Every structure is written in C-alpha cells, then in structure tokens.
Structure 1
Amino acid sequence: MNFGELGDIGADRTLFFIFGATGDLARRKLFPAIYSLYREGKLSKRFAVIGLARRPRTNEQFRDDVSGSIREFARYKSEEDKQWDEFAGHFHYMSLDINKPEAFAELRKLADLLDDQYDIGGNRLFYLALAPELFGSVSNNLKEGGLLDSSGWHRLVIEKPFGYDLPSAQKLNEQIRQVFEEDEIYRIDHYLGKEMVQNIEVVRFANALFEPLWNNKYIANIQITLSETVGVEERGGYYDHAGALRDMGQNHMLQMITMMAMEPPSRMEPEDIRDEKVKVLRSLRIFKNADEVKEHVVRGQYSAGELKGKPLPAYRNEEGVPSDSVTETYFAAKVFVDNFRWAGVPFYIRTGKRLPVKTTEVVVEFKNMPENVYFSSKTKLEPNLLVFRVNPTEGIYLKMNAKRPGSQWGIVPIAMDFCQSCEVGINTPEAYERLLFDAARGDSTYFTRWDEVSLAWKFVDRIESAWREQSTDLQYYAAGSWGPEAAQQLLASDGFKWWPVNGQLEGEVVWATPVAGK
C-alpha cells in the first residue's frame, strides 16, 4: 500500500527539514520511518524532505544514501516498491553551515520552491538531530532566515538529552521559547512511541479487571527494567559526561513510571493526558540528603567480565573513557509516588550496560493472598504478576495460581501469555514512525512537555548532587552480570526480589498460546 492508493487521508501536508541528515539517527531511524509511513498510506503525497548537513551532497547522492538506509533498516523493502522513484523524488539536499545565519536565507528559497511544487501549504516540521547546545542558535536562525514566515504551521522536533541538569535545561528552553511556542515544541522520548508503553494506559483504563486493583491496596510493588548488553561502544566520550542516570533515568525510566502511576485523564486529549503525567512527577518523593540517596539508590560501573564466553573489557578500559572515571553505567533505585493511590508502594527501577540480556519490561507484583487453612504450609503460593514486555519481545504476560493437574493436590503458577510481536512479526511499527506521524498531524500526546522535563530534572539533580558528595559509593559489577549485589539487597530488605525478565518466569506452566487468536 502507498500514498498513491490512499491519497491525502494520512498526515497533513508536510515539508520535513532533517538537520543532521548524514548522521546515524537519520540513517537508522528517520528515513526508514518516513518510508514506512509512505508505504502504509499515512503520509500525504504532498510532502517533501530537505536533508541538511555540512557535508556536500547532490540530490542524487542524497537519494542514494536514503535508498541504502531503507534497504538496511526499513520494515518494508524498496525493491518491492514500483513507485520508488516517485518517492525518492521528494527528497532534496542542501549543504548548510548552521553557524551562518545567511545560509538560512538560501534554505528559505529552496523551502518556498518545494512548498509551491508540492502544494504543501506552508506546513513545516524542523527535526533537529543535532547536539542539544545547537538547538537555540538553529531555532533563532530559522526565524531570522524567514523560514517561519510561511502561512502554515511550524513545529520543532528535538531529541534528548534536553539539557545536562535543570539549570542547563532551563537555559535551553528559554532560547527555544524565544522562537517557538510551547505547543510547537515536540520533545521526543522514543520510548513513548513503543507499542507496549502506549498499551499500558489501554490495559489499565479499558479493563475492569485491572483498574479497580491499580492501587496500594492490591499492588505490592512495580519493577521497571531497561537493560542493555552493549557497552558504551564509540560513545565513551559522551557517555562519561552523562552516565546511566542522565542517559536513561531522567527520561525513559521516569516516563514509564508516569504511565504506570497516572490517574485516568478526564478526556483522551493530549494535554489532559500530559497533565496527569505531570501530577505523578510532582508526587515523586525527592530525596532530602545524601544519606537518603545512598539508602534508596545504587550506582554501579562494569568491570571486566564475559558474556556467552566472550571476554568483555571494563568500562574504564573503553575508548574515550578516563582510567579513573566514576561515571555510573548502572543504577537502581527505590522510588515512591506520594499520593493517595500509591502511598507506600515502591517503584523499583534499574538500567545498565553490559547486562546479560537486552530487554525492557515492567512487572506489576500484586499482594499475595494470606496463608490460611486452605493454603497449607506445604503449598507454595506465588504472587500474581502482570508483565508488560516492551522490548525486544512485545506482549503482555499474566501469572496466576491454579491447581496442579492430576490427582495430587498442589498449586502451581500458570501463565497467560500474549505475544504481540509474534502476531505482527517484523512489521510491528517502530517508535519513530509513530512519533513522526504524530508530529506531522499535531498530536503531542507522546511527547514530553516542558513541565515534565523540569520536574524530572529536579528529581535527578538531587541524586547527582548526593553522588558528588559521596564519590566512594560507586560499586562494581562484572560485565555480563545483573549489576551490583546491592541492587538485589535494595528489594530484599523489603521482602521482595527482582523477577526474571525476557522469558518465562521460573516454575510456571504456560496456559495460553503465544499468538492470540491462533
């Protein structure tokens, strides 16, 4: 299917400006996303893309780059598309030095030309796949160059990290807001575009089975795991100035907490949904001092180890990393949302590099039934679990207790397992497809608003400040392991444990086919 079949029923007419068009993000994510939207009829045929970078390129060379990107990373294969040449013809390139304001006047001429050629109506989406410190100057140059004078809408899409701490984020926001209004700014957190993260609110609010139980009366704890098997790769220089807390905690982890803890919105409108997320962030318990941080947060750094028989270097031996670095590659925390619904329920979060498996999962552990005469001491009663599997397998998993089959009395855990990625397979939409589609049609639901960003930094800055005071609390874990032992003790001290991820939980019997409806 392509836009030739569906006409203009998809996203609005859009002129895309991709700053950083020769970079890795554009190649791996943005060009394949635009192509998938085209193939699925979600993109108006009145669109154009201007790729912008300092490197010289002709239109033909740029289109060859786009073709190579799509062949390698897209869900759909361009070899099967008879209208490839028509699609590729919408891509144009301009070499641009973003530090020269006069160059933006030339960009305006090209934009106006394409606007007339494709009847776009002045709608412009500026995607800044650039370093954050450039956001302000590029925004100002867009204004000075006249690129915001067209008759349609104008939207700015920017990537994380949005600042390095709250003061730097405030400064960056002030620079952008001199040019763009808040409702024109789309801050991407690509985890919010993932299928199962978006499914959380549907499972919660559309099922009477769960919503009445979604509180501190019935839920014992919630665990969020975002683990990576890779190290810092070629990003050692950047990563050593960021660390796991800033790289993953301030955005992805806290955003997933808001999705799990938010109240039902009054309407399913973007601002109403984001209002409820902000309420969660305002309710996060801020650690008062360094001792509270040490009690509730574990930070670690990987030392040499191995995974699947392959030796792995220590973080301090990675390229671009100082030999005495105290930057964390792992952190785990016990977080509380101090409101009426969640008072007393711990949210355990953990993320790290060089862990045994790559996965993102959310585990909801319900309170166990009381031991009584019916459940004797000979019977092991496991808590019920609801698991959202976000990545790489997408699905929902429910663990229950049932009678052991046969004449012998006993209770065993059983699993009902819905595997979304098994059903949809390779054509599961990517997060960037959803988010680009939403930005082009003006749906800001799954983008982060400034008050979300500022509240998240306020929470994270308190932890960072404590770590600067107590640099000796860094713990080490072998690459290929599940992190420092203190992360296990974080739960054990409350009578809990980290549940296994990325597969069946121990001891259960799978009671459902992995693909729904088959």
Structure 2
Amino acid sequence: MPGTRQPLDKLLLFGATGDLAQRMLLPSLYGLDEDGLLPADMTITGAARSEMSDDAFRKFAKEALDKFLPADRKEKDKIASFLKRLNYQTLDVTKMDHFTRISDELGDTSKGMAIFLSTAPSLFEPTIKGLDKAGFTHGNVRIGLEKPLGYDLASSREINDAVASVFPEDRIYRFDHYLGKETVQNILALRFGNSFFEPVWNAQGIDNVQITIAETVGLEERAGYYDGAGALRDMVTNHMLQLLALIAMEPPARYDKDAIRDEKAKVFRCLRQIAPEDVPHNTVTGQYGPGAVDGQIVKGYLDELGKPSVTETFVAIKANIDNWRWQGVPFYLRTGKRMAVRRSEIAIQFKPVPHSMFAGRGGLLQPNVLTIRLQPEEYIQMLIMAKEPGLDRDGVHLREVPLNLSLDAEFAGTRRRIAYERLLLDLIEGDQTLFVRRDEVEAQWAWTDAIRAGWAANDMKPKSYASGSWGPSTSIALTERDGVTWQDD
C-alpha cells in the first residue's frame, strides 16, 4: 500500500546550489508545482555552504529553470509562483550552530517535513547529528538519501548506522534515480501484467541476460568524485544491480514497498559471490584512452585527469543467481564511459526452439531477443522469426522481425517526467515502494566489494580501450567463451 499521504508543509533541500539541484531537483520540484502536486502551503528551503540571500537563491533557481527546462514548460507566471516557495540558509554541516539557525528559521515542523540529503560520505554523521540537534528527526520528518551511500560495505554500514540512530527504516528513503524511470517501472508491468512471459521467464526459457549502461561522456565535472569511485562503485553497485533484481525477482504478491523490496532482497541473497580466483575469468576492467566519439577527437582518461590513476572507467561482469529459477543462466553486466554510443538497455535472449522443422528447407532460426531500452529512446522490442514472402522454390527464407512498443510514441500525449519528479513526490507523500532498503544496499556492496578484493588479490589493472569503442577486447571473450555475443546493434 502507498504511504500515509500526509501533507507536509516543509522541504529541506541539502546541496541546493550543486549540479544535481540545478539539473534535476529544482526542475523536478517546479514540474510538480506546475501540476498542482505539491502541498499548497509547502515551503522549500535550500541549504548549502555558499553565502546567499533568499532573493539570490531565487535568482539562482530561475537561471537553472531557464537553462534546463524544456521550452514548452517555461511559463513565466508559474515559474514566478514556484520561486515564491523558495528560501535559503547557509549551512556548513560541521558547525552545529548552523543547524540551530536553520531550526529558528524554519520554526514549527510538527505538520511534517521532508529532507533531501546529498552530501559526501564523510559528512553524513555530522549532518545527522546536526539534524537531531535541530529537532528535525521527530516522527513527522522523512529523510531522502542520495547516493553515494559510502564507498564499500564498511562505510555504508557506518552511514546507515548513523541515520538509523535517529530515523527508523520506515522514514528513510534511499534514492536510486533509475528506479524512478518510466521504462524501469515498465519492467514490472511487462513481467507481471502479461501472462505469456511468466512460463518462460526462467532457466528453461532464457539463455542469458545482458544489462548495458554505456556513456559517451568522459569525466565532465566529476573528476574529484569519479576517480575515487570508478565504474564498479558508481554504476554497478547502484543502478545495474537494481535492474538485475527487477528482472530476476519472483512475482510479488502486491505492488507495495514491502512485497517488492522483499523479493529484490531475495535476489541479492542468491547472487553468487565471485571468489578471488574466479574474478579474472568473470570480470573485465578497463580505462579509456584517446579516440573519437561522435566524430570528435577526445583525450584519454589520464590526460583528462592530469595524473596517474588505476581507476576503472569500464567494467564487464558475468554474474550468476543461485536459485531454482535462474540456475545456469548467466547475467552479463557491462558499463563504461567514452563508449561507442549512449545506451542503457536490458537484452534477454531466449533459448532456441528445441527442433527446427525448417532446417531441411534451408530455413535458419535465431533465438528470440527481448530488448528493454531505457535511454536515449524508451521502447520494448521483441525479435521474432518470420518467413520472407515468396514461392520458396529455392528453400524457406526466415529472418528476424522486430515487434516494437515505443513508449514515446504510444504515450505521445503524456508528458515524460524526470525520474526525480516521481521520487521527490513519493518522498513528500510517504511512499517507499521505489526506494532502496538497507539490506539491499548492504548486499549490493558486499557483492561488489568481493570483486574489488579479487582485483587486488590478482593485481588486475584496467586495460586500455579506445574512446568510441565498446571497451577492452577481453569483454568480448567474457561472453564468447560461453557462446554468447553482446547485443551491440
């Protein structure tokens, strides 16, 4: 069931002058306000280290909306109305008196408050202490936590322990913005809203699953964070394992926070940990070098960074789920920067038919493939075998034909929302269904920590790959030794 839907009258937004706030949070909150979905009297207080007045923050927010909102969404009167909700407080989370000042400014929070917290892992503990000191941890306060929640299992537990010391789990909302994407939620609709998939959604019907998140960008403005994180921590621990869980989970009894998150957690408990001696055979790590992307010559990672580094910008992994449904089905995960194209998708290859009646007439069959594209387009495509028109005097000619469901086309009259719109609204309204529970987070870290330990034990360094390619050549061998080819078309 959804949450309490108790109206709140305050939202406290940490990191309010950062890149995430400009690109996603402020446009998302404006979108909700534009559609009348925010509580009528709710104020939004931005907090960050920068010295800034309320008016200066409103000007900053307007500039962000002007830059990142689509042209058809820029309504002068509605933007002006939204900006009236905004206030600002300078906050250094290491100074407890700053929290007292915010408490005095916000006043009574008994009607309810939501907090969106985005901060470096090292600052979680003092921030939580400050919130508690300010009286912002009582029963009508919910807190949303933006990743990264640590950089390994130990640091993640420290953060979770700090938050849990003042907030119970039912008031903690851990963000993974992929879970707010419309196409990701359509995985649930596809699997559990259609009867014809379930009988073959298992080891008897599926040969392999491939999850790819490929980016064409390099470091951009994230060098400080990214070089300390790398592709495994940045993408696999968070987004990719959540996608794997949605594909692999058992059917939940209900669409609610407990049923769905219980089933995802079961998947993580069955995810086979990769032993150190198996890491070289089941993982590939790479770092982009110079090359060309979209026709433009680009530098390599080390040139962009300006110093030596062994941080991986690419990782490919063969994962296995040890349960009845998925025994023997490999899940291939692949993510990287400066790749050939920008693409996020899940490709599910079904097993071939057990016997081909067309073989004696020259008809060649290919296994069916279901592709769920998350970005840049949003669609679901099924490749099926069909007979080419003709008299067949020289044999039967078969070829793959796509059955396409374009979500962009089918729902053309419906505005496509930023993932953060849905997640921020759920935080405000108290619905935890699309947020990550503590046991999920820690299981994800435990699995990827074992891979990193295997890299260290085997002294594995990232292999160089040309920008604009699909990563190191060894990633091809990762699948082809199993007779599988990456779906790169």
Same fold (TM over 0.5): yes
Look up the match of 1:460: 448
Q: Rate the CA distance shift 1:438–1:138 in 2: closer, same or farther, 3 A.
A: same
Q: Rate the CA distance shift 1:102–1:472 in 2: closer, same or farther, 3 A.
A: closer
- 3-state SS in 2 of match to 1:455: helix
Pair 1:350-2:331 in alignment: no
Shift of 1:448: 0.8
Look up the match of 2:284: 298
Pair 1:310-2:293 in alignment: no
Higher relative contact order (CA 8 A, sep 6+): 2
Q: Which amino acid aligns with 1:360?
A: S
Q: Rate the CA distance shift 1:110–1:77 in 2: closer, same or farther, 3 A.
A: farther
Listed as ranges, the gaps of 5+ residues in structure 1 are 1-8, 116-120, 502-518
Pair 1:482-2:470 in alignment: yes
Q: Rate the CA distance shift 1:449–1:10 in 2: closer, same or farther, 3 A.
A: closer
Shift of 1:236: 2.3
Instruction: Tell me the alpha carbon deviations over residues 237-287 of structure 1, each in whole angstroms, 9 at most, x when there is no partner.
Output: 322211110110111111100000000112221011100000000000111
Distance in 2 (CA, whole Å) between partners of 1:74 and 1:287 is 44
Look up the match of 2:187: 200
CA contact (8 A) 1:71 1:78 kept: no
Q: Which amino acid aligns with 2:419?
A: A
CA contact (8 A) 2:137 2:166 kept: no
CA contact (8 A) 1:70 1:77 kept: no
Instruction: Tell me the alpha carbon deviations over residues 475-495 of structure 1, each in whole angstroms, 9 at most, x when there is no partner.
Output: 221111001111111111111
Shift of 1:378: 2.3
Distance in 2 (CA, whole Å) between partners of 1:230 and 1:84 is 31
Instruction: Tell me the alpha carbon deviations over residues 156-214 of structure 1, each in whole angstroms, 9 at most, x when there is no partner.
Output: 11111111111111111111111111111111111111111111011101101111111
Shift of 1:235: 2.2
Structure 2 residue corresponding to 1:336, chosen from 320, 338, 344: 320
Q: Rate the CA distance shift 1:263–1:472 in 2: closer, same or farther, 3 A.
A: closer
CA contact (8 A) 1:10 1:43 kept: no
Look up the match of 2:241: 254
Shift of 1:377: 6.8
Instruction: Tell me the alpha carbon deviations over residues 55-83 of structure 1, each in whole angstroms, 9 at most, x when there is no partner.
Output: 12222211111111112223475642534
Q: Rate the CA distance shift 1:84–1:473 in 2: closer, same or farther, 3 A.
A: closer
Structure 2 residue corresponding to 1:284, chosen from 256, 260, 271: 271
Pair 1:441-2:425 in alignment: no
Listed as ranges, the gaps of 5+ residues in structure 2 are none
Look up the match of 2:75: 80
- Matches of residues 490-509 of structure 1 in structure 2 within 5 Å? 490-501=478-489
CA contact (8 A) 1:75 1:427 kept: no
CA contact (8 A) 1:36 1:76 kept: no
- 3-state SS in 1 of match to 2:77: coil
Look up the match of 1:431: 419
Pair 1:122-2:117 in alignment: no
Structure 2 residue corresponding to 1:47, chosen from 29, 35, 42: 42
Instruction: Tell me the alpha carbon deviations over residues 20-53 of structure 1, each in whole angstroms, 9 at most, x when there is no partner.
Output: 1111111111000001111222222121100111
Instruction: Tell me the alpha carbon deviations over residues 373-420 of structure 1, each in whole angstroms, 9 at most, x when there is no partner.
Output: 433372221111111111111111111011102323311111111111
Pair 1:24-2:19 in alignment: yes
Shift of 1:319: 2.7
Distance in 2 (CA, whole Å) between partners of 1:146 and 1:258 is 37
Instruction: Tell me the alpha carbon deviations over residues 65-102 of structure 1, each in whole angstroms, 9 at most, x when there is no partner.
Output: 11111122234756425343332211111122222112
C-alpha RMSD of matched pairs (Å): 1.9
- 3-state SS in 2 of match to 1:356: coil
Look up the match of 1:109: 104
Q: Which amino acid aligns with 2:227?
A: D
Q: Which amino acid aligns with 1:458?
A: A
- Matches of residues 153-168 of structure 1 in structure 2 within 5 Å? 153-168=140-155
CA contact (8 A) 1:19 1:127 kept: yes
Look up the match of 2:126: 137
Which has the higher mean CA deviation after the structures are superposed, 419-428 or 64-73?
Answer: 419-428
Distance in 1 (CA, whole Å) between partners of 2:279 and 2:127 is 38
- 3-state SS in 2 of match to 1:234: coil
Look up the match of 1:392: 376
Q: Rate the CA distance shift 1:74–1:424 in 2: closer, same or farther, 3 A.
A: farther
Q: Rate the CA distance shift 1:375–1:179 in 2: closer, same or farther, 3 A.
A: same
Structure 2 residue corresponding to 1:273, chosen from 260, 270, 294: 260
Q: Which amino acid aligns with 1:402?
A: A
TM normalised by structure 2 equals 0.94
Q: Which amino acid aligns with 2:197?
A: F
Distance in 2 (CA, whole Å) between partners of 1:76 and 1:455 is 42
Distance in 1 (CA, whole Å) between partners of 2:192 and 2:476 is 32
Look up the match of 1:505: none
- 3-state SS in 2 of match to 1:478: strand
- 3-state SS in 2 of match to 1:416: strand
Distance in 2 (CA, whole Å) between partners of 1:161 and 1:331 is 18
